[in-house]
Amino acid sequence: MAEISDVFFVDGMRTPFGRAGEKGMYWNTRADDLVVKTIIGVMERNPAVPGDLVDDVAIAATTQQGDQGLTLGRTAAILAGLPQSVPGFAIDRMCAGAMTSVTTMAGSIGMGMYDVALAGGVEHMGRHPLGGDADPNPRFLTEKLVSADALNMGVTAERIHDRFPHLTKERADRFGMLSQHKAQAAYDAGRFQPDLVPVAITDAQGAWGLATEDEGRRPQTTMEGLAELKTPFRPHGRVTAGTSSPLTDGATMSILAGGGAVKELGLAPKMKLTSFAFAGVAPEIMGIGPIPSTEKALRKAGLTISDIGLFELNEAFAVQTISLLDHFGIADDDPRVNPWGGAIALGHPLAASGVRLMIQLAAQFAERPDVRYGLTAMCVGLGQGGSVIWENPHFDGKKRK
């Protein structure tokens, strides 16, 4: 009879993230091939996990069409060479797609139905722009259920500035600049590279290359430069390209396992799941979604925000992230927050980003045995937030000097 189980994040890897569009490094690369690379990479790095023990493969994509459709979890599993006995499916919660892949598989593992699962996401925003073939129900507008521009994420970010005037453009600019500087420092220290799966790419002339680093970084960013950028979402607005995550292509993948499988296979998991939660807010101001989802996850875990020693928050927009920090009384430049930078620098391939947060938190846990709990959280289009709290298996109870 199945028993309730602990859930562990065994490992995670991702492709380097590329700029979306014709000038991006993945313009000639299929979305499903990006997923396949991550599956192969993470399975090769974990030979103690036999492919035939994988109970399911959950892969998220926001725009599920073309090479990003056709039940990605199943098709990518076959293409990656997993046994045909391994099932799979596709999932969508927009920006929190990969996060939902993880929590969905975690629920199955926690209930004792699964022992091992793969969970991740992909977004090829060059091939499949957000909302490309979407056909919103006319009732949304005729019955005034949702504002006409609620699907414009930049406009929703401007509304956070409207609602909270103390979250100034200068604060957002500084947060965006620091994201760039922290990401480059982490690259220089070799912190990202171990978890990146190289991807073979071709350019417009058919010449081969190898993608090994995130393409969109701008480490030379300055406050003076940010102050001069245009505000594309509103005349005389406050949100700019320098305080927004860029359009991005990329894929992520993780291995999850229950306590029994961890013991039986002799695995050394990188994180233990403590709690998770999703919450809804008004679509017109979707960026504040992680606030109620984090409060909910903390309640479920019996923790407070002061128990969280590391934060990996998805930087869809700088103002969205600092709204959460402001709510919980955390400084914009708190060293616990996105210590290696975030999506403003690295990119945000929508449905893939949730596992990117987890990969970074897991790597930081290994360096920080003084930290017991960490949070991964993100806002979600159409007014949602998602939060997952993790426990550090390396925690030793000693305070860091």
Residue 80 near residue 47 (C-beta atoms within 8 A): no
Instruction: List the catalytic residue out of 124, 128, 161, 379.
Output: 379
The CA distance from 185 to 400, in Å, is 21
Q: Quick check: helix, strand or coil at residue 239?
A: coil
The CA distance from 128 to 136, in Å, is 17
Angle at 58 between CA 340 and CA 153, to 5 degrees: 55
The CA distance from 9 to 93, in Å, is 20
Instruction: List the catalytic residue out of 95, 124, 128, 161.
Output: 95
Task: Please give the span between the terminal C-alpha atoms of the chain, in angstroms, as a whole number.
Answer: 47
Q: What is the token pair recorded at 172?
A: 């957002």
Length of the chain: 401
The CA distance from 74 to 59, in Å, is 9
Q: What is the token pair recorded at 291?
A: 């606030």
Is residue 95 part of the annotated active site? The answer reads: yes
Q: Quick check: helix, strand or coil at residue 169?
A: helix
Chain centroid to Cα 400, Å, comes to 28
Q: Which residues pair with 272 in a beta bridge?
A: 8, 391
The CA–CA distances, whole Å, from 215 to 245, 295, 339 equal 13, 34, 19
Instruction: List the catalytic residue out of 161, 181, 348, 394.
Output: 348
Is residue 348 part of the annotated active site? The answer reads: yes
Which residues belong to the active site?
95, 348, 379
